[in-house]
Amino acid sequence: YLNHVGDAYDENGEEVQQVECVMATNIPNEMDQVEDSHICVVMVGLPARGKSLIAQKIVRYLRWLSVNAKSFNVGSYRRADTPHPSAAFFDTSNPEGERLRRAAAEAAVTDMLRWFEHEGGHVGILDATNSTQYRRKWIKERCDAKGYDVLFVESKCDDEDLIMSNILEVKTTSPDYIGQDPEEAARDFRDRIRNYEKVYQTLTEPDLTYVKLINVGSQVVINQVSNYLQTRIIYFTMNLHITPRSIWLSRHGESEYNVLGMIGGDASISPRGLAYADALPGLVRDSIGDKDVTLWTSTMKRTIQTARHLPYRKKQWKALDELDAGVCDGLTYEEIEKKYPEDFRARDDDKYNYRYQGGESYRDVVIRLEPIIMEMERGENIMIVTHQAILRCIYAYFMNIPQDQSPWMEIPLHTVIKLTPRAYGTVEERFKANIPAVSTFRAKYTSANMGGEEGLEDMTDESNMMSPPPTGAEINGIVKPDDVESFVPQKHPDPMVPVLL
Ligand code: ATP
Ligand code: F6P
């Protein structure tokens, strides 16, 4: 990590001398730090530099890790009074514009401080340009007065083509320009940027804690970091990229244990599972094409067997092994209900937090998957062949599914799920093989798997591709800043939990 950021240069290619790079290496009690943390993450940068996208991704990542995080987008507050401003509104010589922009920032900061104080917030993100030293000093003073830490995250980008494509991709469809001609909207947005450029000051304040991401993280400057949660956030932002890519997810083919209704184990795949392994290269051929794909499996026989005909670079991860069912490994759900009735009930009451005796909970799985998610953020095209519980956790990360729902999601056998991250959303497609398999899904407060079989439909090539699910905050993964999220993760009763950070 330190090597990765050690060679820091500023935007003129000069080695950074004035900034001291301090990383926390010896934190006595990380857990306490997270529980007691109040961090205001202040985004910094000119318009169309991906600030909102980065803010939303930090929120999604932290919530997945059970940290109460929320983004406060100043643009949404400004829109209440000035829904369709022209570029002139953002000219600092326009006193009315200045007054209204200051009021919007004031309202957002006030709401964020209230959220920390009254709603158990841990990481609040102030999503605005915050592009002058004066504005940053003011925010810092407001947070200092309450004893909250402040981490500035700047996105600096001088790639004109990228900025133009950002404007066309997300700005011309912004609510600011509703009903306007996209070309005119793009022109106005460029003028807006020019107005910001007149006063923009990149982060250089020596006493502030910050990370500066230059040209989508191709250079990173870090200053004065002293707190564990801040290092997690910084490390996460350093791994983000915007190269278009997709992720293909599949469970292993039906296993011998699946056929018998038994959980866990390290069984081989059944004859129908073998048929799925044979069909898998054809099932993904069209959507993968000649893309460079890395294939990840768990270390268990059933995923390795399923992936064996796929012609991609392969890597096995222990972290992708199925949730450990402890003393219940090798039992059917009916047997568990008979042998461990209290456990069986407790698991259904709170499936995310229930930990099998001698085994794991979904929460434990998320902790061990964190490095996998980090690798996935850093990587490009990846196909993963793994297990039901693991896929639920990975899917929940990308699609922003709350913890009370994620362990109950149906992830059928013999189906490939393709996820394509986009600005403010993840597009989902499903490809179903025409190979039957048992259903391993058990509904809440029932003791047997849902009868029947999956994958029976006779799919033609064209009908193979199911349309993406409806868009919306829960499904789409990343929400537009205008749809301010309402989901706040539950606080976990187990005090050990924050150790994951
Ligand atoms: P504004 O100040 O107008 O709210 P913003 O900086 O918040 O703008 P976004 O709305 O997040 O910008 O812009 C999203 C676009 O930026 C997407 O097209 C995304 O691909 C792109 N993007 C994401 N990260 C970066 C980055 N680090 N540098 C430049 N562009 C990025
Ligand atoms: O144009 C960029 C933008 O996101 C506006 O929508 C919003 O009003 C503004 O930035 C918030 O930043 P500032 O605090 O500089 O006004």
Once rounded to an integer, what is the mean pLDDT over residues 164-173?
A: 93
Q: Is the CB of 421 under 6 A from ligand 1?
A: no
Residues with CB under 6 A from ligand 2: 47, 74-75, 78, 101, 105, 128-131, 192
pLDDT band at 37 (very low <50, low <70, confident <90, very high): confident
Q: What is the pLDDT at residue 374?
A: 97
Q: Is the CB of 464 under 6 A from ligand 1?
A: no
Q: What is the pLDDT at residue 30?
A: 52
249 CA from centroid of ligand 1 (Å): 27
The values of phi and psi at residue 334, to 5°, are -60, -40
Largest Cα span, the chain: 75
Q: What is the pLDDT at residue 33?
A: 59
Contacts by residues 185-192 (CB-CB < 8 Å, ≥ 24 positions apart): 188/86, 188/87, 189/47, 189/48, 189/87, 191/87, 192/47, 192/87, 192/90
167 CA from centroid of ligand 1 (Å): 9
Report which ligand 2 atom has the smallest distance to the Cα of 101: 16
The 10 Å Cβ neighbour count of residue 12 is: 5
Q: What is the pLDDT at residue 454?
A: 57
Of 28-32, 143-147, 175-179, 461-465, the one with minimum mean pLDDT is: 461-465
Q: How many residues does the chain have?
A: 501
Residue 472 has pLDDT above 70, yes or no: no
Q: Give nearest CA residue, ligand 2 atom 15.
A: 129
Q: Is the CB of 155 under 6 A from ligand 1?
A: yes
Write the CB contacts of 13 (distance below 8 Å, at least 6 apart in sequence): none
Average pLDDT of the residues of the chain: 86
Report which ligand 1 atom has the smallest distance to the Cα of 56: 11
385 CA from centroid of ligand 1 (Å): 32
Q: Is the CB of 319 under 6 A from ligand 1?
A: no
Q: What is the pLDDT at residue 495?
A: 25
424 CA from centroid of ligand 1 (Å): 10
Residue 190 has pLDDT above 90, yes or no: yes
Of 123-127, 177-181, 226-230, 455-459, the one with minimum mean pLDDT is: 455-459
Condensed to tens digits (0 to 9), the pLDDT of residues 62-115 reads 999 999 999 999 999 999 999 999 999 999 999 999 999 999 999 999 999 999
41 CA from centroid of ligand 1 (Å): 16
Pairing type for strands 382-386 and 210-214 reads: unpaired
**Inter-residue contact 301 to 268 (CB < 8 Å):** yes
Report which ligand 2 atom has the smallest distance to the Cα of 77: 8
Condensed to tens digits (0 to 9), the pLDDT of residues 312-352 reads 999 999 999 999 999 999 999 999 999 999 999 999 999 99
Tell me which of 96, 101, 134, 194 to substitute to probe ligand 2's pocket, judged by most ligand atoms within 8 Å of the beta carbon: 101
Contacts by residues 200-205 (CB-CB < 8 Å, ≥ 24 positions apart): 200/46, 200/129, 200/131, 200/132, 201/131, 201/132, 201/133, 202/11, 202/44, 202/154, 202/156, 203/44, 203/136, 203/152, 203/154, 204/18, 204/19, 205/133, 205/136
Q: Give nearest CA residue, ligand 1 atom 21.
A: 50
What ipTM does this complex have?
A: 0.80
pLDDT band at 453 (very low <50, low <70, confident <90, very high): low
Better pLDDT: 330 or 465: 330
Once rounded to an integer, what is the mean pLDDT over residues 258-286?
A: 97
Tell me which of 166, 202, 241, 422 to substitute to probe ligand 1's pocket, judged by most ligand atoms within 8 Å of the beta carbon: 166
Residue identified by tokens 């530099």 is: 49
pLDDT band at 161 (very low <50, low <70, confident <90, very high): very high
Residue 16 has pLDDT above 50, yes or no: no
Cα–Cα nearest to 104, from 127, 76, 83? 76
pLDDT band at 21 (very low <50, low <70, confident <90, very high): very low
Q: Give nearest CA residue, ligand 2 atom 16.
A: 101
pLDDT band at 15 (very low <50, low <70, confident <90, very high): very low
Once rounded to an integer, what is the mean pLDDT over residues 24-42?
A: 63
Residue 469 has pLDDT above 70, yes or no: no
**Inter-residue contact 469 to 475 (CB < 8 Å):** yes
Q: Is the CB of 400 under 6 A from ligand 1?
A: no
Condensed to tens digits (0 to 9), the pLDDT of residues 346-394 reads 999 999 999 999 999 999 999 999 999 999 999 999 999 999 999 999 9
Condensed to tens digits (0 to 9), the pLDDT of residues 203-252 reads 999 999 999 999 998 999 999 998 899 999 999 999 999 999 999 999 99
Once rounded to an integer, what is the mean pLDDT over residues 292-319?
A: 98
Q: Is the CB of 166 under 6 A from ligand 1?
A: yes
